[in-house]
Chains A and B, each alone.
With several copies, the nearest count.
Chain A
Amino acid sequence: MSIPVKLEAFEGPLDLLLHLIDKNKINIYDIPIVVITEQYLEYIKQMEAKNLEIMSEFLVMAATLINIKSKMLLPVEVTEEEEEVDPRQELVERLLEYKMYKYISEELKDKQLDASKVMFKPPTIPPEIAGYKEDINVEGLLSDLTLAKLHEIFKSIVKKQADKIDPIRSKFGKIEKEEINLSAKLIQIQEYGILHKIFYFRSLLEAQNTKMEIIVTFLGILELIKIGRIKIEQENRTDDIKITYLATDIIQMEEVGF
Chain B
Amino acid sequence: MEIKQVEAQIEAILFTMGEAVEIERIAGAVDHDEETTRKIIHNMMDRYQSEERGIHIIELDGAVQLCTKPSLYESIIKITHIPKKHVLTDVLLETLSIIAYKQPITKLQIEAIRGVKSDHAVNKLVEYNLICEMGRMDAPGRPILFGTTEEFLRCFGLQSLDSLPVMNPEKIEDFKIEAEEEAQLKLDI
| Contacts from A to B (Cβ < 8 Å) | 11-15, 27-30, 53-54, 57, 61, 94, 96-98, 100-109, 111-112, 114-126, 129-130, 132, 134-139, 141-142, 144-145, 147, 150-151, 153-158, 160-161, 163-164
Contact = CB atoms under 8 A, between A and B. Distances in A.
A52 to B, nearest CB: 12
Q: Determine the interface band of chain B, counting residues with CB < 8 A from chain A.
A: 35 or more
Contact of A27 (B12, B156, B182): B182
Contacts of A12: 114-116
B67 interface: yes
B94 A29 contact: no
Contacts of A111: 156-158, 165
A167 to B, nearest CB: 15
Interface stretch (B2-10, B28-36, B38-46, B78-86): B78-86
Contacts of B65: 120
Interface in B76-112: 76-77, 80-88, 90-91, 93-94, 96-98, 100-101
B140 A163 contact: yes
B133 interface: no
Contact of A57 (B15, B87, B91, B116): B116
Contacts of B155: 112, 115-116, 138-139, 142
A138 B113 contact: no
A55 to B, nearest CB: 11
A167 B83 CA distance: 49
A95 B92 CA distance: 19
A54 B115 CA distance: 10
10 contacts: A29-B179, A30-B183, A103-B167, A111-B158, A119-B67, A132-B80, A138-B155, A142-B130, A155-B175, A160-B141
B16 A157 contact: no
A124 B16 contact: yes
Given A57-B117, A108-B165, A154 B12 contact: no
Nearest to A98: B113
Contact of A118 (B67, B86, B141, B186): B67
B113 A101 contact: yes
B86 A141 contact: yes
B183 A121 contact: no
Contacts of B84: 134
B80 A130 contact: yes
A115 B15 contact: no
B70 interface: yes
Q: Which of B15, B67, B141, B179 has the most chain A CB atoms inside 10 A of its CB?
A: B179
B122 to A, nearest CB: 14
Nearest to A133: B127
Nearest to A56: B117
